[in-house]
Chain A
Amino acid sequence: MDRNPQKSFQDMILALHDFWSANGCLILQPYDMRMGAGTFHTATTLRALGPEPWNAAFVQPCRRPTDGRYGENPNRLQHYYQYQVILKPSPANIQDLYLESLRVIGIDPLKHDIRFVEDDWESPTLGAWGLGWEVWCDGMEVTQFTYFQQMGGFDCKPVAGELTYGLERLAMYIQGVDNVYDLDFNGQGVTYGDVFLENEKQMSKWNFEVAETDALFDLFNKAEAECKNALDHNVPIAAYEQAVEASHIFNLLQARGVISVQERASYMGRVRDLARGSCEAHMEKEAPVWAEKYPEWSK
């Protein structure tokens, strides 16, 4: 079946799936939890740790409550999609592969100005950082390209390369559309607005005005407690899920404007402790197996 990534949002995604599948990636599905970025997917965070090779690609819906604009801003959404590729160890031809993937979705680098502009990445919440670029296409940031150096406070051994494509932006660019809601979703006239506009309106209202803050505070505390409970029982993946949950609840509380500047740092510290604690526990649990299988590796 012919794909038409230049006319259809879903075909663009499918073209990327085809490309990365052909290049050795597992095609995974989104993580079934609310999260702020594809990096939170366990296929990225937890798999970035340890020596085992790992190549995966997936779409991850991202929730950024404070970015909601009630469907009125042509670029900003509180819910959008990232396309994430994680390649461990980072292959020598990773930049070439990436550029090839752009050609596949219809971006010709002799017609469009593609640039790798310094942009280092750091997530204090995950105890993670990496060096890389934001990739510009005619001045627009279309991808975040990162070589992970540390995750959960541990050195990445080996280093994974992470590509995060902003799908809506790319599609707007490729389709020549100025408003995200005008994107052609399926190449047959169903627009992104048909699918998501009402969703954006309602969710913006809920994020900013409706969500019951006492309940959110309660949820935050419960997620924190549950994370600790899971850690006590040595099920780090379950603990990590609670860290992801706490992180999103914190973002909602921010959108509701009920966290003061002073409190903010303290909440972020609590989320960081959960995420780092989970990564650490995961590392502790897996390290003996990894060390046995990869004698040249050490924690």
Chain B
Amino acid sequence: MSDFLLELRSEEIPARMQAGARAELEKLFRREMDTAGVTTGEITVWSTPRRLALIARDLPEATEAVSEELKGPPVGAPDQAIDGFCRKAGVEKGDLETRDVKGRATYFAVKNVPGRATKDLLAEAIPAIIRDFSWPKSMRWGAASISTESLRWVRPLSGIVALLGDDVVECEVHGVTSGSVTLGHRFHHSGDITIGNAADYAVKLRAGHVIVDHEERQDLIRSGASKVASEAGLKLVEDEGLVIENAGLTEWPVPLLGRFEEDFLEVPPETIQLTARVNQKYFVCEDEAGELANAFICTANIEAEDGGARVVDGNRKVLAARLSDARFFWDVDRKKTLAEHAKGLERITFHEKLGTVADKVDRVAKLADWLVFDAKAPNGDHKLARQAAELSKADLVTEMVGEFPELQGLMGGYYAKAEGLPVEVSDAIRDHYKPVGASDEVPTAPTTVAVSLADKLDNLLSFFRIGILPTGSKDPFALRRAALGYLRLVQANGLKLELDQVVHAWASQRVAGLPEKLGEFLLDRLAVQLRDEGVRHDYIQASRSWQGRPDMRVDRVESRARALTAFLGTEDGANLLAGYKRAANILKKEDWHGAEGEIARTGEEDPLSQVDDPDMRAVIDAKMSERHAKELSYPPEPAEKALMDALATSEPAAARAIEAEDFSAAMAALAALRGPIDRFFDEVTVNAEEENKRAHRLDLLAAFRAAVHKVADFSRIEG
């Protein structure tokens, strides 16, 4: 058993690609070893900017010999068949063996595949790994690149160390030959480092000022940055992404703290943090009060002779230049009001079929105004909502957002505040993109809620109207996120918005089909959102009709689905569902439609779903009650009577609760039917011989089914 070391040395590998490269190296190595039949122990993979390394423990010296037998044609078969078999098996005809198979002499090819030295297998595997390695972007280089067939690597590949035990695994890939020699730190170590075996690799590199284990470098950066911050009486603002990136940029990381001029703190802290992080990969610090401090932490790749004073000073100057830019943007942007900036939106196309961003802003402003004024969604001031919406996108044309697009909204908020606009307006501009992710906070300030809702609704409606909906993984306009944002705003603020009215206000007219399309999309998102809370998709399906039409209020669908989830989780609910299914099956089998069905047969298929005319409903109700009121032509059995009585109480109680949108109460009313329906099935024969009894009992089941349907469409519930 020996340990194997592979080091692939190259010019600087981009930090962001190193994690993927480690995984790729391990994957390809395992693939090669599997194919070669080499078992391997624990595998460790490391990376630095200049090398990828893999150590595999406990490789055998050789693979075991394998004997393989192939059954061929019977003796006496035509020559072509025998020759063909020999070719396929790769043996000479004279080497075939003859064996008895069920009394018949048959040819066999016996192949002994000898075991092979692991070293030889590795010598073949290494070039294969390098050739098959997949980088996000790769390149050619050097004289060999006169052909496009030359080796591709992320940056020029300069060396290979391959050692099995103490021996070099000899191989060559496009002119790069394996050996035992590597290089240390670019500046702290000159000359070659000869590696003896896997065990001394990390040790020798450490002596050459290279910490090859990326996790160790990450730890050093984490603890080092936090230490220099606390030595300065500050607290490090943790940033795991920066830790990993800096570890990917250094072989010998040394965190150093520097200060920038305090004057820069007059620009919004987010811009300082972003400048430091994105442009310079610096950490920032907070003072005791949690305010951004005038300090930065850079991660050097050297142990500088002067303790890093010059390095810090150089970095300070660069940051100062960057912060001067940020301050310049901040000053220049404030020379114009947001309203003046907003004029620039007329030149920016929102989408080729949807006009400019200025057009979009007009629509959002109108809708935000309506949401407050007419829909009374948030309890705010409609003029403020309109003003905030009109200015909400103005920061897109400011210098600062041009430089840092991540600051959209936030900068608008700062500029609005700076020009003295009402705080409701500046807050709404700042937060109107929220909630962005599932964990982002949801606005509750009335003006913000209106602008945020209007912005999301406008995105959804605009794109739906021109036929753009997300497909599969493609959602270029982030409509799913907009829908989720809408849902969370509605939920957090207890809003009861009617989608058909929303569409009417947005388009200033009815747009056939659009409210339904929006509703359907929102409910799909709702199903995804509520799945984790145990609200099943089919419960939402069962809750999406209101008075026979698609419910235009998503909040109502949600509360009904939640009540249904709670109800079906109880014993009463589960049993009632079972009773419902039994009743529905019988009715289906008997093709019995009951009073509603009878009326329906003259018109559409599902009677209640099509009725939106109050007069028509009245006719149906009248006919049904007439039917139900008919005197029985026989004395009902006790269980039958009990169900009739229960229905007479529960049905109106449930109907009243539904009308009041108290779905829990409606479910509770249904729960009262559970006992009677169970008893009915236990004691009463539905298919009685007497036709009048049978008809009545089927009617009774149909009435039961109708009562249940009023609360929720149980036929949609699966399982």
Contact = CB atoms under 8 A, between A and B. Distances in A.
Given A131-B137, A147-B141, A158-B144, A138 B301 contact: no
B142 A138 contact: no
Contact of B315 (A90, A138, A156, A159): A138
Contacts of A294: 146
A190 interface: no
Contact of B311 (A120, A138, A147): A138
B305 A110 contact: yes
B609 interface: no
A157 interface: yes
Contacts of B227: none
A75 B317 CA distance: 11
Interface string B539-556: 000000000000000000
B142 A91 contact: yes
Given A92-B142, A92-B156, A116-B11, A260 B347 contact: yes
B303 to A, nearest CB: 9
B147 interface: yes
B186 interface: yes
Interface in B152-177: 154-156, 158
Contacts of B187: 109-110, 114
Given A133-B12, A149-B140, A113 B347 contact: no
B142 A89 contact: yes
Specify which of B141, B302, B315 lies most central, judged by the most chain A CB atoms within 10 Å of its CB.
B141
Given A260-B347, A296-B147, A159 B140 contact: yes
A132 B10 CA distance: 12
A263 B140 CA distance: 36
A139 B318 contact: yes
A29 interface: no
B310 A140 contact: no
A201 to B, nearest CB: 18
A249 to B, nearest CB: 22
A137 B311 CA distance: 8
Nearest to B321: A75
Interface string A109-140: 11111111110100000000011110001111
A51 interface: yes
B631 to A, nearest CB: 79
Given A92-B142, A159-B140, A115 B249 contact: yes
A284 interface: no
A51 B146 contact: yes
A196 interface: no
A149 B139 contact: yes
The range of chain A's interface size is 35 or more
Nearest to B187: A109
The range of chain B's interface size is 35 or more
B352 to A, nearest CB: 10
Specify which of A73, A131, A262, A297 lies most central, judged by the most chain B CB atoms within 10 Å of its CB.
A131
A112 B311 contact: yes
Contact of A158 (B49, B145, B158, B314): B145
Contacts of B155: 131-132, 147
A71 to B, nearest CB: 15
B349 interface: yes
Contact of B314 (A133, A139, A260): A139
B137 to A, nearest CB: 6
Specify which of A111, A157, A262 lies most central, judged by the most chain B CB atoms within 10 Å of its CB.
A111
Given A111-B304, A139-B318, A157 B139 contact: no
B106 interface: no
Contacts of A261: 347-349
Contacts of B314: 112-113, 137-140, 173
A109 B302 contact: yes
Nearest to B140: A159
Nearest to A159: B145
A157 B305 contact: no
B249 A131 contact: no
A137 to B, nearest CB: 7
B306 interface: yes
A117 B186 CA distance: 14
B145 A139 contact: no
Nearest to B308: A113
A95 B186 CA distance: 10
B188 interface: yes
B245 to A, nearest CB: 10
A189 interface: no
Interface string A237-268: 00000000000000000000000111000000
B635 to A, nearest CB: 84
Contacts of A157: 145-148
Interface in A77-109: 89-92, 95, 99, 109
B280 A139 contact: yes
B670 interface: no
Interface in B203-241: none
A120 to B, nearest CB: 7
A160 to B, nearest CB: 9
B143 interface: yes
Interface in B306-348: 306, 310-311, 313-315, 317-321, 324, 328, 347-348
Nearest to A69: B328
B304 A113 contact: yes
Interface in B271-308: 280, 282, 298, 300-302, 304-306
B315 to A, nearest CB: 4
A112 B16 contact: no
Nearest to B298: A139
A178 interface: yes
A89 B318 contact: no
B142 A159 contact: yes
A155 interface: yes
Specify which of A138, A140, A158 lies most central, judged by the most chain B CB atoms within 10 Å of its CB.
A138
B355 interface: no
A41 B143 CA distance: 23
Interface string B551-582: 00000000000000000000000000000000
Contact of A117 (B144, B249, B315): B249
Contacts of B188: 110
A24 interface: no
A146 to B, nearest CB: 10
Contacts of A149: 139-140
Contact of B146 (A117, A138, A158, A178): A158
B15 interface: yes
Interface in A273-299: 294, 296-297
A118 B311 contact: no
A82 B2 CA distance: 54
Contacts of A156: 140, 145
B269 interface: no
B318 A140 contact: yes
A74 interface: yes
B145 A89 contact: yes
Contacts of A173: 314, 317
Interface string B567-605: 000000000000000000000000000000000000000
Given A113-B300, A131-B137, A157-B148, A89 B315 contact: no
Contacts of B41: none
A138 B254 CA distance: 13
15 contacts: A75-B324, A109-B186, A109-B302, A110-B304, A113-B302, A115-B250, A118-B16, A130-B139, A138-B310, A139-B318, A159-B141, A178-B317, A261-B347, A261-B349, A294-B146
Given A109-B186, A138-B315, 15 more contacts: A74-B324, A75-B321, A91-B142, A92-B156, A111-B310, A117-B249, A131-B154, A133-B12, A138-B311, A139-B280, A139-B298, A149-B139, A159-B141, A260-B347, A297-B146
The 5 A-B residue pairs with the shortest CB-CB distance in the complex, in nearest-first order = A138-B314, A118-B14, A116-B12, A139-B315, A158-B145
Interface of B: 11-12, 14-16, 49, 137-148, 154-156, 158, 186-188, 249-250, 280, 282, 298, 300-302, 304-306, 310-311, 313-315, 317-321, 324, 328, 347-349
